[in-house]
Amino acid sequence: MERLLLTLLLLSEGPVLSACVPRQYIFVDQAMSWTKAQAYCRQTYTDLAIAGNSEEMNRLIDTVSSAAPSSGVWIGLYSENTFLWSDGFRGGDEYRKWRSYEPDWEEKELCVRTEKNIGWWDSPCMNRYRFICYAGTQLDPEFIAVQEPTTWLAAQSFCRENFTDLATVRDDQEHQEVQKLVPSGSSAWIGLFRPALVWSDGTEFSLSSWDGARPRGISCGAASLKESDNLDFQSCETRLPFVCYSHPVFRKVVKLRLRAAGSVDLNDPAVKADLLRKLQLRLKASGATLRWREQPDGRVFTEEADVRGDEL
């Protein structure tokens, strides 16, 4: 059996490497909401269109450039378009103390800082500011100022290791308590953040791979491709045509030369099923699917004097 497995793997090495096959993009000229478009793509193909690098982006543009309406087409990019507290607080009314014209929904501004006597700003998470932790519980917090500037994620880790979490601010009273801990003219991180943009399959969006593509605004968290490499974010309920993607499926017949030990009948259904199961287990990581190619009489293996190979 081991000799048979080695033969199969060597003969199958080329077609098994299907992960290198480029995605195929399919333009669907039916107006749907983003969610319904996603469901259609997952049922009919693989998912809404995803592009991980500039080459895929160019092929995606080529697919839709001649057919896409001026209103755009859905692709598989989205954001929840909501701010969440680091400690998971969901109770009560949503309290926000935004500075005028904030948040401005810039793509990289996913974390929130508070500035003395001004209000809250959404800012890039890699900026370095003081930060406010809290100890105790969500309903009875004790706020603690940490003066060493750091990034939002580093501040979150520090607060969780040494106290409870980054500060959750539920009302005006707690806002005033936090403000007392921020020096004049300074800013401090609090625990409010917005989840990053992600693709429909859950992978994080990398702006650098899109050759200068820039989101122009966000509403509800759905994205559409408009002209060239520009992205435009619209309400998820807007009805637009869309682009799906799929992975091409390749089939290849692999011929095997087998020598049965003793009186084993290779055409016995139980023997064929066991052999196929073991072969499939060995190829599981490749994503390949195997099946026997049967003759009209149901036989797979044929005994011949001069065997040139039996088909899988």
CATH of the domain at 216: 3.10.100.10
271 lies in the same domain as 171: no
| Residue 312 domain flag | no
Number of domain units in the chain: 3
Is residue 119 very low, low, confident or very high in pLDDT (cuts 50, 70, 90)? very high
170 lies in the same domain as 234: no
Tell me which H or E stretch contains 28. Answer: strand 24-32
* Residue 67 pLDDT > 90: no
| Residue 309 domain flag | no
| Residue 198 domain flag | no
Report DSSP letters for 205-226, one per residue.
P-GGGGTT--B---STTEEEE-
| Residue 131 domain flag | yes
Is residue 227 very low, low, confident or very high in pLDDT (cuts 50, 70, 90)? low
268 lies in the same domain as 224: no
Gap between the Cα atoms of 34 and 72, Å rounded? 12
Give whole-number Cα distances, 96 to 175, 182, 216, in Å: 10, 18, 23
On the question of a cis peptide bond just before residue 103, with omega within 30 degrees of 0, the verdict is: yes
233 lies in the same domain as 177: no
- What integer pLDDT is reported at residue 17 of this predicted model? 34
| 9 or 31, higher pLDDT | 31
pLDDT above 90 covers a percentage of the chain that reads 38
282 lies in the same domain as 220: no
pTM of the model: 0.57
Local structure of residue 20 (DSSP, 8 states)? G
239 lies in the same domain as 260: no
| Residue 307 domain flag | no
Q: How far is CA 236 from the centre of its chain?
A: 18
10 lies in the same domain as 95: no
* Residue 36 pLDDT > 50: yes
286 lies in the same domain as 230: no
* Residue 211 pLDDT > 50: no
Residue with tokens 């009273």: 173
- What integer pLDDT is reported at residue 180 of this predicted model? 95
175 lies in the same domain as 273: no
pLDDT, averaged across the chain: 78
| Helix ranges restricted to H, the chain | 2-16, 34-44, 54-64, 152-162, 172-180, 269-282
- What integer pLDDT is reported at residue 2 of this predicted model? 38
207 lies in the same domain as 74: yes
Gap between the Cα atoms of 175 and 158, Å rounded? 21
| Residue 105 domain flag | yes
281 lies in the same domain as 225: no
* Residue 293 pLDDT > 50: yes
| 247 or 248, higher pLDDT | 247
- What integer pLDDT is reported at residue 104 of this predicted model? 83
Residue count of the chain, please give it.
312
241 lies in the same domain as 211: yes
| Residue 175 domain flag | yes
- What integer pLDDT is reported at residue 309 of this predicted model? 45
Range of the domain at 142: 84-193
Gap between the Cα atoms of 165 and 193, Å rounded? 13
Q: 176 Cβ partners below 8 Å, 6+ apart?
A: none
